[in-house]
Structure 1
Amino acid sequence: MSESIIEKHLKKLTIFVAVLSLAILTAGGIVTFSLNRVQQDAIDSRIQREVEKYSDNLHQKLQVDFQTIYTLSAFLEFNEGLEKESFSRGLLGANNHNGFVRMGYFGRNGTGVRVTRGKSIEMDKKLEEVTPEMQEIIRKAWEGEDGFSGVIYDTELEKQVLGYAVPVYRGEEIIGALVATGEADSLKEILTNDVLFGGNGHIQLINSQGEYVLPYETEDIFSGDYFSQKEEERITDVLDSQESCFASLEYKGHRYRLYIEPVGIKDWSLFGIEAVNESNKFLTQMILITRVTFSVILAAVIVFIFYGYRLMKKKNRELIQYAYYDSLTGAFNSEKFQQELAKVMKKQETYALAGLNIRQFKFINEIFGRNQADSLLCHVKDVLEENTGEGEYFCRNSADMFLVLLKGEERKEIQRRIQDIMEKIAAFSANLNHDYDIQMYCGISLIPQGIKTDTATMQTTHTMFALEKARSLPRNSIWFYDLNLHQEEILQNYVESHMNQALENGEFKMYLQPKFDLRTGRLSGAEALVRWIRGDGKVIYPGQFIPIFESNGFCAVLDMYMTEQVCRLIRKWIDQGIRPIPVSVNHSKILFYETDYVGRMEKLIEKYETPARWITLEILEGLAMENIDKLNQVIASLKEIGFRISMDDFGSGYSSLNTLGKLDIDELKLDKGFMEGIDGTDQQKQKIILEHIIMISRSLEISTVAEGIETKENEQMIQELGCDFGQGYYYCRPIPAEEFHEKYMQKGKK
């Protein structure tokens, strides 16, 4: 995963955090809004009910008052001939028994009589002597309509009063108006109620200007800074148009809900208001708890996510450091370097990819210790850092191998820079306090600008091929990837991509090279060797594919395949009545570490019913150097089945005579290098060494086979040294199994 992808993940996480926080905030808002809505609906419903109830009470009071007056007016109609004085006394008596403070009668001529509770009768009262409001409703009654003055101030009574007037008929003719005056406080009794809205609100009577009809704490509802200008204008319009509406206001930290409804009397409206916070404490507490809960949850989530985000970002930085940087040196690792290399290869610039390796680094580790070896690697990193510029990269690819990407394509300049880097790295020798010469080797592949065909991996492979070539050269060698290396790379790619298919197609052919008894000169056995012959007839030689198979592990598969071919051949000889000869087959060390190796070998000989004594398994001496005890356990199991064990190429590597005494082998094959050495200047020394190896082997009851016998002189000399068997081109080159069968097994030729 690249750094950009990790950054994208972090951005996605940030967006997720924001969305989650917004979702929690929205959910809290929705719940709070819903509870507020429920609370507001409950308050609105309650205010509306109370206002409507008080409106009904107001209408009922006025209706009762008018009904009382109409009853008296009917009395006047019925008593047509009643004298004025008797009428006045009757009116006074009626007034004393109803709720009015004053009553009167005014004929259409503008003269009338008026009685006041607790006062004398006023006869011949002129219309002009009463208040203008009373004059207006009297004239209205003369016109046949009920008259109501609303709340007016009576200077004589010195109080707020209500004026009523109804027409008085005689037949179909209106002869006058019966008037009554009631106390305005009777309206207060209707509107004033301490338990209204649970004591958390009140209802007032207002006119179209918002003024209180009855005396109140202020002149009108707009006194004081209760409403915004916009809300005040809206309420004013509602009052003017005699409509109903709800509104909200805040005052001294408290929220209020109000309702205005026209009464239908004069320009009056009922104004109901209730404190929201006090009207429904349960819902208010629920809303508060909900807000606090969601706020706490949101805060906790934000804190948790923020902490998690920071922790993840820190861990991602650590992950990036771990994923893309070498823990020892701090340089890029291979993964990060390959990403940068892939980007660079798309640019219109030329580069050179160099691989640097320290010769015999493992000995530096062993001789000077791991700390000094690690310091050397850090020194290499520092040198590369100092000698690379902008747009140039390097990494510790593995162990002591570094990859460096340099700008340019001029070979001489690239070589000069690499040599300079090598010299600066070699200067670390002074830190070792020993006269140790640090040597390196380098492989380089050039990258043309804007290359499209090669991948970063392929370009690195080119560099590795050049590095491998440089390793075979002396001292601080530098090798550029060229056509020859390219051909080797093509072959390696072909080998690795076709090996499994070649096995299925039977392209791996078994060749046999005979071995002869040096005492009798007779055929004593053969070695099975593999040749890769493609379907088109082209041959891939063992030296071209065996090292690759040893590297990728396919040699174990091929070894078992060759063993099966040997079993088939021996089975064929037995079936044809031919006495078999021992056939040896190479087995790589990978097989010896497989847990089912011995079992598979046993099943193989059981499958072909082949006696195991005719098969010799050849192992390399390098295997014995690793774990002798483990190897002996496997050898013992194989020998118990009947297989013979041979050590191949003894003397080609770091041979140890001590190994011969510890390994339970049956045969020792002397490397052909001994034959080449005997023909050289140190002939006598080589003969002495070879003679003693043969003598020790004989003492250990281990037979010896000399490889690489190419001349009569070789054969004669090895016979004199007491070697048991010989193998080489002097006798016969490796030939196909069919040809071997015809030449040696059918005809019995030597």
Structure 2
Amino acid sequence: MQPRTKSVKKIYFDVGLTVLIVVLFAAFFSFQVQKDSRERVLTTLSEISSQSVEVMQKEISRNKTLLINLAVLLGQEETLDPPTLLQKLIPVDKENNFKRMGIVLPDHTSYSTDHKDVVLDDEGYARFASAMEGQTSVTNTVRDLVDGESVTVYSTPLTFADGSRCVLFGTYSTQYYKNLLSVSSFKGAGYSYIIRQNGDCISGSTNLLSQQFSNFYSATAAYSRQNEEKVQRLQEAVQNGEQGVMLFDREDGTQRYLYYQPLEVGDWYLLSVVPSEVIDKSINGTLVPTYLLLLGSVLLFCYLIWRIVAMYRGYRDRVEQLVMVDEVTGQGSFAKFRLDAAALFGGKDRTPYALVCLNVKKFQYINDLYGYDEGNAVLRTVAECIGENIAGGEYAARMQADLFVLLLHCRDVQLLQNRVTELLHKVQARADKRDGDLIYQVRLRAGVYPVQDRTLTLEGMIDRAKLAMDHSRQNASQPCGLYDGALRRQLVRQQELANHFDGALESGQLQLYFQPKYDLQAGSFHGAEALVRWHSPQNGWISPGAFIPVLEQNGGIIDLDRRVFAAVCRQMRRWLDAGLQPGPISVNASQLHLYRLDFVDRYLAVIDRYHLPHDLIQIELTETALFENRDILAQSLGRFRRHGVQILMDDFGSGFSSVGSVCTMPIDAVKIDKSMVDHLVDDEKTRLILKNSLALFRSLGLAVVVEGVEQKDQYDLLHTMQADYIQGYYCARPMPMGQYQACLQKAQGLPVTGQDEIAVV
């Protein structure tokens, strides 16, 4: 019996040991699954919160953009006429679900689409103070001045042609935000609030589990002593603009998970809440197979473990497929890229990296012309090509739309910039399409930020790379921009110029200059090009190459062009009245004018106001502006030409146009860019190209002005080629109005007067 007893004991021992191993393994496995599941569910809560934030911000941004665009449209009216404005606002109000729309006058009078017109007291008028000062704004929750309902008010300045102004506003009930927030999450158990930094509630979802309160902090802190400490930490995080998750108690003894995240609207914050039992139920559901292991037989132990592991891996793979794989490209998602970046910069590896942003130029055209399926195919091609050209330890993902982000090794910045440029060429070569009716070119640009501060947020790194990418637009020969100290200083300098420009314009710091054109065949000056120069009392002369691009970006070039044009017409009228024949003067116009409906009418009105012969005025548009806006050229430029105003193509030869393509342009003359003239003397091909181009333009009846002539050899060659006009330092530099006036007087045998005068724009 002793051997049997020993055998039984051994069996008991083996069974006990097996059970102990199963229990320990199950406990360990349960703990690990619980931890991973909790993190995964909280990540899901974070993503749902981020989606809600994005929805809210897009909706609020859409409403603000709607008001701004509407203000621009209404601002084209001659003067402020409330009845007319209200008639135009009514259909907009109905279509966009405003509670009401209307206008507020400086005298505190308001008019609304629901005819609830009131005279505002000082407190009510304060809601529109920012808009009266020129800023578009959104209020926090306020009481409706008519029925007392809780509302938010969107407002933006509205200025008319005669200078009269008012505020355009649209009012939304807080129920509007409740509808946006009442998106089901966690099978209807989740709910959301929008609060201010001080805890005041702006709106909340209509979920039955949610509670209504005036201040979240005070209401939550009252539930338990532990909540007081948590609320204090939450307040500090909110004040610092942070986002995160916390667990707090409810008055019924249950707990709630709270994810807090800032909205980019005032000091608003989005709170996403889900009961802890929902998360616990999700976690426990995963653990049921583990607990069943304890009741199973030892013979089924291995099989059950295998099944659980297989189920876990399948679940994990499905979640990773949804979260970690981009649905368009099939490559790693931006969420995965974010995790990889966090692990990279949070670890001990100090390998130098650079963050690269890359996007497809005018990608929207591909979607519009060929459909979204073709656009997605382009994005997949870009992603595949990027994936094939990055090494181990490097990461890439599509961030949004056509914007890709990469983390690349960066031991040498110049080598990396060359590498990214080569990558752009490879992607373009593969993505270009020439298949039947599908013919398009894919062009990309990129920005590189060499990571120096690893504590900088990923968003901060991306912003710097995007700045470098946007800056690359100004350099057609280098599609890959680099963020460095020089770029940062340049951006600061550009912002300073933008800040001081309006004051410089009003204080007369911008002066009118003229650069004469020389008629090669007649051997005399014939007209000029009007230019603008900025003389700052603090900084001296500021190059047009420094401030013109800034104005092109912020839209200030529109006002500058109009002022220059009016100053030229005014000065020409004075010359004609004094008996001078100034010849045709050409004035530069930005391509931004082509998008304005009043461009032609406004310019023709100025010419007629000064009773000028139309053939004395010429409009110069760059080669790029003409070739990028063909669809809107025919009508607007055609009207100029029908009224006798000539159109000149400026900077021909600096872009990608061909001589043949010029034939289809509605222009009267071509200005050859200086870049072609620079190599005229020492390059036979350049001479041949220019000679043949001049012959073709001549046969088409187009006059030709050659810019940048600085040497006698260039002059002689152009004279032999029978060019019409030349312009450059060899003939005359740009000069102030008084000096140009003296040139006209000398040429026409008149006494020289006002040689030191200047013309202020």
TM-score, length of structure 2 as denominator length: 0.47
| TM-score normalised according to structure 1 size | 0.47
Structure having the higher Rg: 1
